[in-house]
Amino acid sequence: MKVSTLDWGIIIAYFLFSFAIAFYFSKKAGKDTGSFFLSSRNLPWWIAGTSMVATTFAADTPLAVTELVSKNGIAGNWLWWNMVFGGILTVFFFARLWRRANILTDAEFVDIRYEGKPARFLRGFRAVYIGILMNAIVIAWVNLAMVKILQVMFPDLTFFGLKEIDIMGVHFSAHLLYVGLMMFFVAVYSSLSGLMGVSVTDSFQFIMAMTGSIALAYYAVKHIGGIDGLKESLSSQKWIFDFIPDIGSDDGTTAQAGNGVLKLSLTALFTYLGVQWWASWYPGAEPGGGGYIAQRMMSAKDEKHSLFATLWFNIAHYALRPWPWILAAMVALVMYPEAEDKGATYVMLIRDLLPSGLLGLMLAAFFAAYMSTIASQTVWGTSYIVNDLFRPFIKPGAGEKYYVKVSRITTFILMFIALLITTQITQISAAWQFILVASGGIGLVLILRWFWWRVNAWSEITAMLAPYFLLPFLLSKKWGLGWDLGNEYAYILLSIVAWSTFWWLLITFFTRPTSDQKLFEFYRKVHPGGIGWKRISDQLPEVQSDKGFILMFANWFLGSMMVIMTLFGIGKLIFKQYNLSLLFFAIAAISAILIIRNMKKIGWHSIVE
């Protein structure tokens, strides 16, 4: 592989354009923290939603999908497709509420919902735990994926002639140092432009990343004779084309049958489809919305734009975006059947198949996917550190210009911490699973705090801390059960969820509830409605609360069906199964029509018209 002058020109042009966007928005972002973190709450739905999609399209995403397809076929993607149920729940139940809350970060929700010392502790603890620790781990695994890409594309890369460098006892490879330079570039433009610049850059980067992915899929499929050639090449492994996983009766979470097809145990199926999507915290798929997803919802122009942004995100994320990666992954199975690192075969396709120009575009697309995620993670994490730790606890009462300055400095510090953590991580999948089980049980609290008055600050504190009292026992081979996180993930997650739920419910009823005065303030501001607020709403008859919860649940089911049927319809169209494709698209269209009808019945005319 040779990177031509044209390729380098495309890559350099991409970096210059990204910086130009940041420079253009830097003046607006510097006005105050509301402008820096929430773009003055003026994002249209298509920018806010596309920014969500771009953020979840990291450098590791196509590699991870390639690995899933190589091991378990198309159906292997249900390990993340299941989260669509939580995403659509956010669309119809939470998007409007987040915009209505009129807060800067999702951690600030603590201030308008709870009170007293427990609330102050919870807000600060969330800022450190999620804004720094969890956020840095996420950035670190994205860094690790980018290192892998550079290792495949540029195996002989050196940093000023050195293959590796030790700095204060920490080992940095040349590839990681170049990733560090990219992080520095991201820190510059994200610290200059804030969320508006990051969101606009995200939209540009998403278009680039998807264009490159589609181009790679086209060249890859063409290389082996088109879709018919792909089917013929994998004719001995027809299970790869199955959209639905095979259900087995094994005792483990997953197993591969003799033909290689993924077999989910009933326990695993229940865990993925019935528990994981609502029980665990995961960046981009938080139950009830949260993190950078909530940040985009809160930055939207109004409730209508907030809802449509989240709906567009779920359609693009689950139904549209995966297919170029899946097709490339299937071709990689044909071309590199003996490769040990299946995820890296996606990068091998780029190296071996793309002509000059497109190679540069695809490399720029990978940089775009990487940088959009890093930028959003840092702006989001910095918002926690400044708004929920620095402003209320370290230096309250300072001017807005001062907090923007601190925000920009904090961006660089957070990236440096993440770079150090990157040197200590070896497996991305293990980091994913750890975050999911370590947050097991918190999801239900994050949902119910909007719709049940009795949830208090102690509920969230307990749900966040409880997993760490059981997890060491489950994983320890010397002092506990010695369960393996990879092979017995479903059992571990179910145990953690049951344990955490028991304790947070117990603590909730044994601690003092939030005062009525605070609950009245929250209900007047957000007016979520529902039976869980009846004790409060009965005392506030003048407040017009949300109604039509049965139809909202119907829309959740129909919305999930719409996205899944669109996903299947596109897949069947690609594989030339036209009758099934038409059927799936028809179901998706009917679901969309029913959703609009239900929204009008509820009274959401301003949203659907």
Beta-bridge mates of residue 166: 171
Looking at residue 247, its pLDDT comes to: 67
* Spatial CA neighbour of 366 closest among 57, 2, 9: 57
Question: Residue 552 has what pLDDT?
Answer: 92
- Per-residue pLDDT for 608 more than 60? no
Mean of pLDDT values over 554-563: 96
Give the mean model confidence (pLDDT) for residues 204-225: 87
CB atoms within 10 A of CB 481: 13
Distances (CA, A) of 3 to 17, 178, 363, 505: 20, 17, 10, 58
For 53-75, the pLDDT digits (tens) are 877 777 677 888 888 888 778 98
Query: What integer pLDDT is reported at residue 604 of this predicted model?
Result: 64
Say which range, 244-253, 302-311, 460-469, 473-482, has the weakest mean pLDDT: 244-253
pLDDT at 260 over 60: no
pLDDT at residue 308 is higher than 90: no
Mean pLDDT value of segment 37-42: 54
Could you tell me if 441 and 470 are in contact, meaning their C-beta atoms sit under 8 angstroms apart?
A: no
Q: Residue 581: pLDDT band by 50, 70, 90 thresholds?
A: very high
Domain residue ranges in the chain: 5-233+307-427
First to last CA, the chain: 53
* Residue 303 pLDDT: 81
Pick the residue with more confidence: 525 or 203? Answer: 525
Distance CA(361)–CA(347), nearest Å, equals 13
pLDDT exceeds cutoff 90 at 343? no
Range from 26-40, 352-366, 372-386 carrying the lowest mean pLDDT: 26-40
pLDDT averaged over every residue in the chain? 82
DSSP assignment of 39-105: GGG-B-HHHHHHHHHHHH--TTHHHHHHHHHHHH-GGGGHHHHTTHHHHHHIIIIIHHHHHHH--SS
pLDDT confidence of residue 127? 81
pLDDT of residue 258: 37
- Listed in sequence order, the DSSP H helices in 386-543 are 400-422, 428-438, 442-451, 457-465, 467-475, 489-510, 516-526, 534-537
CATH fold, domain 5-233+307-427, is Sodium/glucose cotransporter (1.20.1730)
Number of H helices, E strands in the chain: 30, 5
Q: At a CB cut-off of 8 Å and minimum separation 6, what does 4 contact?
A: 356, 357, 359, 360
289 or 606, which is more confident:
289
- Write down the pLDDT at residue 261: 47
Sheet architecture: strand order including 254-256: 246-247, 262-264, 254-256
What pLDDT is attached to residue 312?
Answer: 92
Q: Which residues contact 267 (CB under 8 A, 6 or more apart)?
A: 253, 490, 491, 494
Q: How many CB atoms lie within 10 A of CB 120?
A: 16
Q: Compute and round to an integer the Cα radius of gyration of the chain.
A: 24
- Structure confidence at residue 586 (pLDDT): 97
Q: Token pair of 251, please?
A: 């005792």
Q: Which of 275, 399, 522, 375 is nearest to 54 (CA)?
A: 375
SS3 helix, strand, coil % of the chain, rounded to 5? 75, 5, 25
**Per residue in 232-247, pLDDT tens?**
999 888 888 988 876 6
pLDDT of residue 255: 44
Greatest mean pLDDT among 328-342, 415-429, 451-465 = 451-465
Flag whether pLDDT at 524 surpasses 90.
Answer: yes
State the pLDDT at residue 551.
92
In the predicted structure, residue 254 carries a pLDDT above the cut 60: no
Q: Of all residues in the chain, what percent carry a pLDDT higher than 90? A: 32
Quote the CA–CA distance of 25 and 197 in Å, as a whole number: 5
pLDDT band at 430 (very low <50, low <70, confident <90, very high): low
| pLDDT number for residue 256 | 44
Cα dist. 220→63, 114, 327, 360 in Å? 15, 54, 8, 16
Residue 590 has pLDDT above 70, yes or no: yes
Q: Do the beta carbons of residue 63 and residue 329 sit within 8 Å?
A: no
Which tens digit of pLDDT belongs to each residue from 151-201? 888 888 787 777 777 766 667 788 888 888 877 777 676 655 555 556 666
